[in-house]
């Protein structure tokens, strides 16, 4: 019996297990296959399963076949999370199907000092149908007037894409560069007066660097690990307080053997760029410190090899910020659930280049930890991004 002899319903069922590109050539086999593959229910299933698109509403097509072949087959691979490469800064970009479009949103850490606020969302791209034509639009610029751009994969595995704006003039503010910088400051800070006095130089530098990427940048696909109840803290995206550089996004995952926490920067700063290693923590080297072993940074270091066997059996332990630690953030809890040795990438004080230096990772709960660095005597706090959409 040939596959073409199977009844209609059986073929429909079997075709659920083929992807759209595998399915399309079957239309050429014979009239029966053409009939089955032309059933829109087959393509509705593909749109739903492969791209989570469940409705034709607002897409501007009469069939799921058109939606699949004209939009999702070409651009559906974008759906997911990407890191925009704007060295040294970078940003997090999420493509999602919504209201008859594929939208590309930039998700940024909140402005200091509101670390618990949700990520800021800004529309950068849309892929939509207008007059039966599929358009790729850039929404950057002072008036958010959509204009044409190109977004395309540069590798066969579709893990690297390029964005190119076709109308860069649309990004110019009619009020000139000064107005553009003012708008940038307002976007980057919730306390404009504070930023003017404390961080203007860093933001001015960032403004100029980011301007270079208005005409285009690359995006690298990111896979966000899911949290497991078996680990000491939840893997996933974290908002890290990088002091003078504001809040940055860091992706935290575990090594395959579960012995190491690995973190890479999604956004970066002039010291450590986006995409680089943020830190690595060795869970096989847990530490138990009493309060009197944490009075100063050097006292902590003297006792830092007070390693115990297994952190799972740890009691809550004392946590205090050493007197000479440079920390001006909100109060931290006075106990922690675990403490480990590791390496944190930070600017070397002597060599003016970033490197991995000794640190402690202090876990307060599954979604909050801090890192104490001995090279810079600083405390960096990390809060998990709680948006379920990531």
Applying CB under 5 A, which residues contact Zn ion?
Answer: 138, 140, 165
- Min dist CB 169 to Zn ion, Å, is 9
Which residue number, 111 or 138, has a Cβ lying nearer to Zn ion? Answer: 138
- Min dist CB 134 to Zn ion, Å, is 18
Which residue number, 139 or 265, has a Cβ lying nearer to Zn ion? Answer: 139
Among residues 169, 164, 155, 161, the alpha carbon closest in space to that of 137 is found at 164
- Min dist CB 185 to Zn ion, Å, is 21
Which residue number, 67 or 138, has a Cβ lying nearer to Zn ion? Answer: 138
Where b means 16+ CB within 10 Å and e means fewer, 349-381 reads eeeeebebbebbbbbbeebbbbbbbbbbbbbbb
- Min dist CB 121 to Zn ion, Å, is 18
Which residue number, 139 or 339, has a Cβ lying nearer to Zn ion? Answer: 139
Which residue number, 140 or 237, has a Cβ lying nearer to Zn ion? Answer: 140
- Min dist CB 183 to Zn ion, Å, is 15
Which residue number, 123 or 262, has a Cβ lying nearer to Zn ion? Answer: 123
Rounded to 5 degrees, what are φ and ψ at 195? -65, -35
- Min dist CB 142 to Zn ion, Å, is 11
- Min dist CB 273 to Zn ion, Å, is 24
d(CA 210, CA 90): 9
Which residue number, 140 or 203, has a Cβ lying nearer to Zn ion? Answer: 140
């Amino acid at each position: 019996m040939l596959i073409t002899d199977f009844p209609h319903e059986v073929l429909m069922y079997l075709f659920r297990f083929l992807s759209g590109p595998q399915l399309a050539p079957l239309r050429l086999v014979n009239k029966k296959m053409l009939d089955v593959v032309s059933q829109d229910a087959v393509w509705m299933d593909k749109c739903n399963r492969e791209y989570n698109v469940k409705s034709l509403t607002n897409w501007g097509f009469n069939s799921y076949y058109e939606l699949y072949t004209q939009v999702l087959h070409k651009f559906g691979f974008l759906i997911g999370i990407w890191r925009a490469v704007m060295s040294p800064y970078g940003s997090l970009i999420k493509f999602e199907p919504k209201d008859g479009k594929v939208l590309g949103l930039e998700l940024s850490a909140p402005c200091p000092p509101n670390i618990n606020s949700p990520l800021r969302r800004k529309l950068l791209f849309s892929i939509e149908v207008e007059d039966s034509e599929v358009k790729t639009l850039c929404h950057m610029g002072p008036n958010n007037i959509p204009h044409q751009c190109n977004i395309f994969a540069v590798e066969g595995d579709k893990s690297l894409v390029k964005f190119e704006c076709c109308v860069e003039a649309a990004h110019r503010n009619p009020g000139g560069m000064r107005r553009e910088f003012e708008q940038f400051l307002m976007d980057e800070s919730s306390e404009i007066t504070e930023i003017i006095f404390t961080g203007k130089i860093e933001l001015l530098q960032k403004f100029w660097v980011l301007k270079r990427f208005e005409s285009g940048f690359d995006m690298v696909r990111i896979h966000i690990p899911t949290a497991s109840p078996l680990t000491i803290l939840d893997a996933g995206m974290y908002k890290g307080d990088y002091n003078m550089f504001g809040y940055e996004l860091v992706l935290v995952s575990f090594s395959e053997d579960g012995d190491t926490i690995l973190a890479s920067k999604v956004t970066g700063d002039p010291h450590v760029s986006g995409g680089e290693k943020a830190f690595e923590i060795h869970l096989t080297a847990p530490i138990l410190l009493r309060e009197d072993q944490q009075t100063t940074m050097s006292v902590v270091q003297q006792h830092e090899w007070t390693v115990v066997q297994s952190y799972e059996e740890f009691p809550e332990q004392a946590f205090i910020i050493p007197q000479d630690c440079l920390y001006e953030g909100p109060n931290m809890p006075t106990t922690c659930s675990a403490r480990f040795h590791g390496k944190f990438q930070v600017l070397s004080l002597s060599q003016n280049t970033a490197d991995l230096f000794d640190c402690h990772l202090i876990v307060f709960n599954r979604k909050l930890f801090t890192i104490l660095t001995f090279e810079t005597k600083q405390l960096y706090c990390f809060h998990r991004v709680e948006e379920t959409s990531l």
